[in-house]
Chain A
Amino acid sequence: MRSRDGNSSITRAIWPLIFFSSFALLDAKEFIISYRYVVKDATLYNETLYISEAMQKCSGTPQEHLLLTTDKKNSLKDIIKNNEEEFIDFIHKLGLSVEHKEKTTNLINTSTTILTLKSTCFKVDFNDNFATIAPLK
């Protein structure tokens, strides 16, 4: 039979780990993000990015993630605003649905292209200096 003193050092070492990891788990949030932009006649016409915290828990497992620097900001909107180019590139990699319509009447051409990221749930882990964002599928 082991003595209490013999095991105390191990439990002391494990408890902080459990404590902090539980905090880390609490810091993970889920967000619903959708993105859409419209190009008319080869010129960008409208671009929208919707970010909303998920009201219900999302299902699925995290896919490949993106690291964004937080600059001591807690809001995802602010973080994405600071890293806009990286995040938009990341969204493009995930896949966008393309909808293109073109009309030529009496040799005059007009076209509209709409690229859309449908509402997707992202898991976001906030840390001190960076946030990890990964889509759930």
Chain B
Amino acid sequence: MKKIISLSIILGIASVSFIGCAQKTDRGPNSYRAMNQDCYEQKCIRNSLDETSDKASKPIKNIEVQREVPQDAPILEKNKTLRISVVGQGVAPTNTSSPAQAYALAKRAAVADSYRLIAEKVKGVYVEGDDLIQNMMVKRSSIRTSVTAMVKNANVIETNFKEGLCEVEMEIVLSHAQFGH
């Protein structure tokens, strides 16, 4: 009796491991391991979708589907607009004669910061950095960034002034026609 029970247990374990192996081989290149290790976001999404198609019998909810964008696709498409929104910050100088003046000056600084952020987003930033290492130690580390651009038709959406800090939300709407290509 004991022999029969032990034999049946061994057979059961063997059959379970066999089924597991068979499932792994069925998945092939779309295994979970491959998905997690070496793939970018879009590829991962595609793989996860393939996984879900394998399990078609089960109802699956909340699948995030992203449209694949080719690398050389234009950011600004024809007949479509691109809205860029930024929040710039400015601080009032310490030697102001009234709270109203402090607000006005802080707002001016915040608007300039917003313009800079818009320029950075649309045109890009030039970055340059260097580290000086002596005797296996970082002596000096410096990063220089710069941006030069022309910004037109940017609109102020909202202004907040709290505890000497002014925040200005600005946005710019870009269209394909503005660039005249």
Contact = CB atoms under 8 A, between A and B. Distances in A.
A47 B109 CA distance: 11
Contacts of B120: 100
Nearest to A40: B109
A49 to B, nearest CB: 12
Nearest to A103: B144
A103 B130 CA distance: 11
A93 B144 CA distance: 29
A106 interface: yes
B140 A99 contact: no
Nearest to A101: B146
Contacts of B151: 95-98
B122 to A, nearest CB: 10
Interface stretch (B23-31, B74-82, B89-97): B89-97
Interface residues of A, number: 24
Nearest to B115: A98
Give the interface size class of chain B.
20 to 34
A7 interface: no
A92 B154 contact: yes
Contacts of B140: 105-106
Given A97-B149, A98-B147, A106 B141 contact: yes
A39 interface: yes
A111 to B, nearest CB: 8
A66 B89 CA distance: 28
Given A42-B89, A44-B93, A106-B141, A98 B150 contact: yes
Interface of B: 89-93, 105-106, 108-109, 111-113, 115-116, 118-120, 140-154
Interface of A: 37, 39, 42-44, 47, 92-107, 113, 115
